[in-house]
Structure 1
Amino acid sequence: MTSEALESACAAAWRAPVRARLGDWLLRWADGFTGRANSALALGDPGVPVPEALRAVCEFSHSHGIPPIAQVIHGSAAEAAIAAAGWIEHSAHPAGHEVSVLLGDAGSAPGDAEVLAEPTGEWWELCAGTSAPSEAQRYVLTTGDIGYGVVHDGGRVAGAVRAAVVGDLLHVSRLAVRPSCRRRGFAVALMAAAGQWANHRECALQVSVRNAPALALYGRLGFTEHHRYRYWVPPQTTCEDPKS
């Protein structure tokens, strides 16, 4: 699978409530919930010169009240063109602007984790950081063929994960284990439950290169890096919001 095809599949597994096409590029809005759902996925040909496409990204972002950001495959022709147009790496991105896209097998070892058909309050708490998700959070996390993985410790949910199937690909995200429950195999059990639920499809993960514990976990499970993407933003002197 090419990097472009894999990024397209991951985007389909993580759908923003507002999407617009600019040639092959995909513009997205999700009320600020995650960079992936609030950036322009710059794959292929935007159908216009890249500087013009970036102006369209700015206009879309400003009209929806989010900062303009482009998600671009590291080392691609699109990244070179965006850099040549004056945009800069979004090094201030809170989760890290460089992301490793991993492929592997989620596993199938039997465990105590299960995949639910509907999210619970504790699942929301762990995977979204709130028991009262916004409309945008609900859309992003529940749209598509989704499984809601949980693992229990006694009477409470100790960990949770989101699993999404797109074609032959399993996309895993938002894996979280309560701090008091870590180092007890719950993350591995959640991955295995997601793999079983998805009928052992190839699994894709997107992990910030700054997230050393997650990268170590997935490395132990046999995942390897397929490619990286980075977030890019315009310099402060350009792409200003006309409303500001």
Structure 2
Amino acid sequence: MKLAPDDLRRMERAHVKAWPALRTMRVDGWLWRSSGGGSQRANSVSTVDYDGDDPVRSLEKVEALYRQKGAPGRLQSFSFSRPADLPAILSGRGYGEGETTLTMVKAPEAFPKAAQVDVSDQATPEWLDVYLGVITENRREVNTKIIEAIPGPRAFFGHRRAGRVISTALCVMHEDCAVIECVATRAEARGQGGAIGVLCALETWAHQQGARLLGLQVSEANSPALALYRRLGFIMADRNRFWLRD
């Protein structure tokens, strides 16, 4: 699915909003982000906007900020990053390409209500138990704080099976874009339809909120997740890359 440049920029801004870093600073239009923990997005520079006139000098500024935190320089790019020649500038400065994620999108639809899916504007302890249980330990404390800081409109979804939540997802609205986060399933409950259940409920909610586009970002190496999202009608719209300099 090919998005117009403005649509893709808006979707990228929606992803920035949906996973807010604990510390941010505008650096010549770029958004410097720092949170600690293992989240790449929350510890990298968002390059949607740029209003500087010397990208190398701007890089020096964000690198200095990361050094103060004892962290490496890391930036996130997409097809319409600013400035347009950012990948070449980063390569020339010694940055290496790290993980590639895919931005996948679709037009949201409404599905029949699933009685077994809980919907709330808050992350319940049971929801957190499922989500935090599938991520690495070094991300749990920071991700919990990020979740608390996510602005609305937002909704948390939990698919119940035999009285307990087995799968989770989160949806965050930004203008006419809705973003999916925190898709997780208990290890012992995989393959039971929990993820599809929460995602269908989430898509219905996004449709009801007036979303024109529903999007997510997933690692290009995550074959099972890619298969699930394609099954639900999501199509790749862009590639995002993380750039790292030690």
Q: What TM bracket, shorter-length normalisation? A: 0.7 to 0.9
Which of these residues, 93, 96, 100, is aligned with residue 98 of structure 1?
Answer: 100
Q: Are positions 1:81 and 2:85 aligned together?
A: no
Q: Is 2:166–2:186's contact at 8 Å kept on the other side of the alignment?
A: yes
Instruction: Name the residue aligned to 2:111.
Output: 109
Q: What is the aligned length?
A: 228
Between the aligned partners of 1:59 and 1:177, the Cα distance in structure 2 is 39
Aligned pairs for 1:52-201 (under 5 A) are 52-73=57-78, 77-90=85-98, 97-110=99-112, 111=114, 112-129=116-133, 134=141, 136-142=142-148, 143-145=150-152, 146-198=154-206, 199=208, 201=211
Gaps of 5+ in 2: none
Q: Are positions 1:6 and 2:11 aligned together?
A: yes
Cα shift readout 1:53-75 (whole Å, capped 9, x = no counterpart): 22112111122333221111158
Between the aligned partners of 1:208 and 1:162, the Cα distance in structure 2 is 17
Secondary structure in 1 aligned to 2:70? coil
Q: Give the superposition deviation at 1:107.
A: 4.4
Between the aligned partners of 1:85 and 1:48, the Cα distance in structure 2 is 17
Q: CA 1:55/1:30 → structure 2, altered by over 3 Å: closer, same or farther?
A: same
Instruction: Name the residue aligned to 1:217.
Output: 228
Q: CA 1:33/1:148 → structure 2, altered by over 3 Å: closer, same or farther?
A: farther
Paired-residue identity, % = 26
Between the aligned partners of 1:167 and 1:64, the Cα distance in structure 2 is 33
Between the aligned partners of 2:192 and 2:17, the Cα distance in structure 1 is 32
RMSD: 2.3
Between the aligned partners of 1:106 and 1:141, the Cα distance in structure 2 is 23
Moved more, 207-216 or 53-62: 53-62
Gaps of 5+ in 1: 91-96, 237-244
Question: Counterpart of 1:211 in structure 2: which amino acid?
Answer: N
Question: Counterpart of 1:180 in structure 2: which amino acid?
Answer: E
In the superposition, the TM-score normalised over structure 2's length comes to 0.84
Cα shift readout 1:111-154 (whole Å, capped 9, x = no counterpart): 221211221122112223389953x4334213211211101111
Between the aligned partners of 2:77 and 2:104, the Cα distance in structure 1 is 16
Secondary structure in 2 aligned to 1:69? strand
In the superposition, the TM-score normalised over structure 1's length comes to 0.84
Q: Give the superposition deviation at 1:207.
A: 0.3
Between the aligned partners of 1:107 and 1:152, the Cα distance in structure 2 is 22
